[in-house]
Amino acid sequence: MSIADAFGRPLRNLRVSVTDRCNLRCQYCMPEEHYVWLPRADILSFEEIGRLVDCFTDLGVDRVRLTGGEPLMRHDLPLLVRQLAAKPALRDLALTSNGVLLAEQAAALAAAGLRRVTVSLDTLRPDRFQALTRRAGLDQVLNGIAAAGAAGLRPLKLDTVVMRGINDDELIDLIEYGKTVAAEVRFIEYMDVGGATHWSAERVYPRASILDDLARRYGAIAALREESAAPAERYRLPDGTVFGIIASTTAPFCRACDRARLTADGMWYLCLYARAGIDLRAALRRGATREELAALITGGWQARHDRGAEERVVHRDRAPLLPASELRKDPHLEMHTRGG
Ligand code: SAM
């Protein structure tokens, strides 16, 4: 069975945040000193996540990505992976991580049935890593990437948020590094989402500039023609290297968006920019049946008319989506709670 929203978009992809905690404090995601965390008692158990995933797969979801916060901070994550990997309806089970804890967990995750991993990597320079994430740990991340490859977690992807004047001089270094670890690099435009309280239009390094820089170094770049709801557009360099660009700020892709997000405490968001979500935890803990939960999800999705990123593009004087004071009132508005 599959369900469609108000614009005819199917529900296929679910990003499941397993924790709102993170061991980094990336400037573009968590720039403040203090955070309001989700209450521990509200965090879904693995059994509860599994029950919700079953409802989503009943309705057409066949791809799940585990995220956070930093998902590897969730205790015993391989147990959840094992449980989800056993669900025949899931064609794709992936994980997005900052890589800090990946070296110690990659083998266990692969053994539990995880198929692939995307590691966020914004710089290859230790001093810059420290400045951007406000933590040390670049070596651990690079070891994590190596361990993921060795554990067979492929295809391996590296996600880089490109910011003007911060790391836009590392595009070529990152492509070259990607070649050495057989990973596809995806450059992401800096987004004005919740959490990015210091966002400014000047800091956005747009897709056109990324392509110009790479073409100057490598020669003509070919766009790959692909039918896909995935946010990245993919390109090929003359030497065959494939990379992606996620132009979610200058050229968003809402009309193909088949993704929704479940927070660690069971709030379901239909758009990264949505102010409000649907409380699935309350229904679950009230004892709702699988059919009742499916009805709640179906009603929410069929009413969906969100195109948050496209609506942001038309704003003149575009500024951060929300001030830190708003985010403190409702941590669900944070990128590290929504899962990116
Ligand atoms: N901790 C994990 C990680 O680092 O990949 C998963 C959660 S993180 C919120 C998911 C993704 O969101 C990361 O790739 C991160 O770079 C991206 N992200 C966070 N804030 C962003 C922003 N303002 N613009 C673009 N991407 C952002």
How much is the pLDDT for 220?
97
pLDDT at position 146 is 98
Q: What is the mean pLDDT of residues 328-340?
A: 93
Range in 18-32, 48-62, 308-322 with the lowest mean pLDDT: 308-322
Residues with Cβ within 8 Å of 29's Cβ and at least 6 positions away in sequence, in order, are 195, 196, 335, 336, 340
Residue nearest to atom 22 of ligand 1 (CA): 191
As separate numbers, helices (DSSP H) first and strands (DSSP E) second, the chain gives: 12, 12
Measured in angstroms, how far is the CA atom of residue 340 from the centroid of ligand 1?
A: 5
Of 264, 235, 280, 320, the C-alpha closest to 22 is 264
Say how many CA atoms lie within 13 Å of 80 toward its Cβ.
Answer: 29
Report d(CA 37, CA 40) in Å as an integer.
8
Packing angle of the helix pair 46-58, 77-85 (nearest 10 deg): 30
For ligand 1, atom 2, which residue shows the shortest CA distance?
97
Angle at Cα 42 formed by Cα 39 and Cα 44, nearest 5°?
Answer: 130
If one residue of 17, 35, 74, 96 were mutated to test the ligand 1 pocket, choosing by the most ligand atoms within 8 A of its CB, it would be 96
Q: 160 pairs with which residues across the strands?
A: 187
Lowest mean pLDDT among 11-25, 66-80, 240-254, 311-325: 311-325
- Position 315 confidence tier, pLDDT thresholds 50, 70, 90: confident
3-class secondary-structure state, position 32:
coil
Q: Is the pTM of this model over 0.75?
A: yes
Counting residues of the chain whose pLDDT is more than 70, the rounded percentage is: 100
In order of 1, 25, 77, the CA distances from 74 in angstroms are 32, 17, 6
Question: Residue 231 has what pLDDT?
Answer: 80
Of 27, 43, 182, give the one whose Cα is nearest residue 117: 182
Residues with Cβ within 6 A of ligand 1?
Answer: 22, 28-29, 67-68, 70, 96-98, 120, 159, 161, 188, 190-191, 193, 195-196, 335-336, 339-340
The answer on pLDDT for 314 being more than 90 is no
Three-class DSSP category at 306: coil
pLDDT at position 317 over 90: no
The residues, ordered by sequence, that sit 6+ positions from 135 with a Cβ below 8 Å of its Cβ are: 23, 24, 25, 100
CA-199 nearest atom, ligand 1 = 23
The predicted structure's pLDDT at residue 324: 94
| pLDDT score, position 200 | 95
Pairing, β 13-17 against β 92-97: unpaired
29 CA from centroid of ligand 1 (Å): 7
Binning pLDDT at 50, 70 and 90, where does residue 47 land? very high
Q: How confident is the model at residue 127 (pLDDT cuts 50, 70, 90)?
A: very high
Asked if the model's pLDDT at residue 316 lies above 80, the reply is no
Q: Please say if the pLDDT value at position 311 is more than 80.
A: yes
- Average pLDDT on 224-239 reads 89
Q: Which residue has the tokens 């001030």?
A: 323
- Ligand 1 center–CA 1 separation, angstroms: 31
pLDDT (mean) for 9-25: 98
- State which H helix or E strand residue 242 sits in: strand 242-246
Q: What is the pLDDT of residues 24-41, one digit of tens each?
A: 999 999 999 999 999 999
- What's the pLDDT score for residue 225? 87
At 204, the amino acid letter reads V
Residue 253 has pLDDT above 90, yes or no: no
Distance (Å, whole) CA 4 – CA 298: 9
- Our CA dihedral for 180, 69, 210, 238, rounded to 10 degrees, sits at 30
Query: pLDDT by residue (tens digit) across 147-173?
Result: 999 999 999 999 999 999 999 999 999
Q: What pLDDT is attached to residue 228?
A: 79
Of 268, 245, 273, 40, which is closest to residue 161 (Cα–Cα)? 245
Nearest atom in ligand 1 to the alpha carbon of residue 336 is 9
Q: Other C-beta atoms within 10 Å of 300: how many?
A: 19
Q: Can you tell me which atom of ligand 1 is nearest the CA of 196?
A: 23
pLDDT digits (tens, 9 = 90+) for 202-230: 999 999 999 999 999 999 999 998 877 78
Task: Give the integer Cα–Cα distance in Å for 2 and 301.
Answer: 11
Q: Is 262 helix (H, G, I), strand (E, B) or coil?
A: strand
Across 262-289, average pLDDT: 97
Question: What was the pLDDT predicted at 46?
Answer: 98
Sheet holding 156-162, edge to edge: 222-223, 233-236, 242-246, 183-189, 156-162, 116-120, 92-97, 63-67, 13-17, 259-262, 267-269, 278-279
Position in ligand 1 atom list of the atom nearest CA 190? 24
Tell me the mean pLDDT in the region 289-311. Answer: 96
**Bridge-based pairing state of the strands 183-189 and 156-162:** parallel
Residue whose CA lies nearest to ligand 1 atom number 10 = 340
pLDDT value for 267: 98
